[in-house]
Structure formats: structure tokens, C-alpha cells
Amino acid sequence: MARLEGKVAIVTGAGSGIGRACLELFAAEGAKVVGASRTVSKVEEAVAEVRARGGQAIAVKADLTKEEDVDAVVKAALAEYGKIDIMVHAAGVGYSLKDTVAGSMDPVGTTSLENWRMVMSANLESCFLMGRAVIPAMTKNGGGAIVNVASILGLIGNADAHAYTATKGAVINLTRSMCVTYAKDNIRVNCVAPGWIDTPMIASVMYVFDDDKTAGQISPMKRAGTPMEIAYSCLFLASDESSFCTGSILVADGGTIAQG
């Protein structure tokens, strides 16, 4: 339980779902973790649990669509722990956004420009901003590992959520491009592409797994994944165990896209 001993990791979207699982797992594996989220109270809860188990973590309130907030996360990490070795970008919006913003997960024909830009900002620009912010610190430190959380919907088409799928496809190709440029600085940039994961982001549609036939059509494993299963994928890519992996897209979807 020390795969990240001596490492400092920033985890975005750390208040719930995959981000929170990463915060908890990385701390358990010896990392000092900086958890960032707009809803800082949820991150503070996770940080309290980590500290109760003897781990080290701090919480930072940040809207990662804002450049100044992104810079504040990096400054907090450097002020508290002196370096940055790992950054997992798990923040973003998904299907749950449609419950509060009508049309945000629509096809192109019924998506407003305002909603398109909202999703682009939350999912893609935040990824760009976080990557840009940590690269100087990682370069100074002699290298690092960036793990972006995308989606299998960045690899295949979908009937709706076109802004969302566009962002996830862009995150995947941004990951590949960054890996080419920053390999010389010993910075590895990889991506996890989850399938259906049981998080608040898709809570409203989890009922599809109640029917065995429908569940089988979605995934050969007939279930959704858990946030911790994706956190372990992120852990592999963040750790030295994946030292020859950069520009990789690790699909963790229970076989969904394998069956077409």
C-alpha cells in the first residue's frame, strides 16, 4: 500500500464519484493529495476521512473553468507540499447536468450555443487549464504523470449529449498531443476512458441495469463499474508501474464498446 509513497498528487473533481475515489485511494497508497472541487464541503469530508486513516490531504475550493482558480490549486499544492508529481483531472459535467440545465445533453440540433459552450468549458477548457498549470511545476521537478478522465463516448458516436461526446473526444486527442510534446520533460500524459460508472453523474439513468436483458446489451458484465475501479485504473497510470505508458487510452467499460 505504498505505490505512491513520496508523491504529491492533485485530484480534481474530488468531491464525489471517480475524483473522490482517486483522492482516497492515492492517499492510501502514500501520496499527499490536494483535492479540488467547486463543492469544497464534499472534498473536506473526504479529506477528513483520509486524515482519520493517517493519510495526508488538503481541500481547495475551485471552479476549474476559471484560470485564477486553477492557478490557486497549483499554488496551494506547492505551498503545502513543495512539488507536484501527479495530476488526475476527473472534474467535469455529464448526464446529471440535464436535470438542472435543460438541453445541455441534447443532440446538436437542439443544443443552444450557450449550453455548448458551458459543457466545452467544464470538460475541455478545464482540462487544458489544469494541464497548462501543472506542467511548469512538473518540469521543474524532473517529470510527472498526468491522467485525464475522458469517456468511451469520446471513442464512439452517441445519439445525444453531442457537446459532451465532443469534449471527451477532444480530451483524448489532447492527451495524445501532450504526450508527444512533453515526453522530453519526463512528463507522461495518459487517459482513462470509463464506460457506465455508478456515480451521481448518471444516477438518474442507472435503472437500465435493473433489467437483465437491457443490462446485457449495455455491457457483457451486466453491471456498471464503481468509482474505485476507475480509480485503480488512474492509479496504474499515475504510478511508476506504467513508466513506459504515455499517450495511452485505458478503456475501462466492462466490455461495452467491445461488443459494438
CATH number, position 135: 3.40.50.720
CA angle centred on 20, ends 168 and 118, rounded to 5°: 35
Any domain includes 3: no
Where helices occur in 29-148 by DSSP H, the ranges are: 40-52, 67-81, 113-120, 126-140
- If one counts the domains in the chain, the total is 1
The DSSP bridge partners found for residue 59 are 35
Q: Pick the closest to residue 137 from 85, 61, 62, 79 (CA basis).
A: 85
Instruction: Tell me how crowded residue 81 is: count the other CB atoms within 10 A of its CB.
Output: 19
Could you tell me the three cell numbers for 181?
Answer: 510534446
Any domain includes 255: no
pLDDT at 200: 87
Any domain includes 148: yes
Share of the chain above pLDDT 90, in %: 96
pLDDT of residue 1 exceeding 80: no
Residues 6+ apart with CB under 8 A from 178: 131, 146, 187, 189
pLDDT at 125: 98
Q: Are 211 and 205 in contact (CB under 8 A)?
A: no
CA torsion through residues 198, 203, 204, 207, sign: positive
pLDDT at 219: 92
Q: What mean pLDDT do residues 110-133 have? A: 98
Condensed to tens digits (0 to 9), the pLDDT of residues 71-96 reads 999 999 999 999 999 999 999 999 99
R_g of the chain, CA atoms, integer Å: 17
Element (H, E) at 51: helix 40-52
Residues carrying an active site annotation: 164
Any domain includes 260: no
Q: pLDDT band for position 162 (50/70/90)?
A: very high
Any domain includes 258: no
Mean pLDDT of the chain: 97
Instruction: Tell me how crowded residue 6 is: count the other CB atoms within 10 A of its CB.
Output: 10
pLDDT of residue 204 exceeding 90: no
pLDDT of residue 27 exceeding 90: yes
pLDDT of residue 38 exceeding 80: yes
pLDDT of residue 203 exceeding 90: no
Q: Are 253 and 230 in contact (CB under 8 A)?
A: no
Q: What mean pLDDT do residues 196-209 have? A: 89
Any domain includes 136: yes
pLDDT at 260: 79
Residue 226 is given by DSSP the state -
Condensed to tens digits (0 to 9), the pLDDT of residues 8-23 reads 999 999 999 999 999 9
Domain carrying residue 12: 8-246
The residue ranges of DSSP E strands in 41-143, in sequence order, are 56-61, 86-89
Any domain includes 242: yes
Q: pLDDT band for position 235 (50/70/90)?
A: very high
Q: Pick the closest to residue 37 from 4, 9, 70 (CA basis).
A: 70
Any domain includes 51: yes
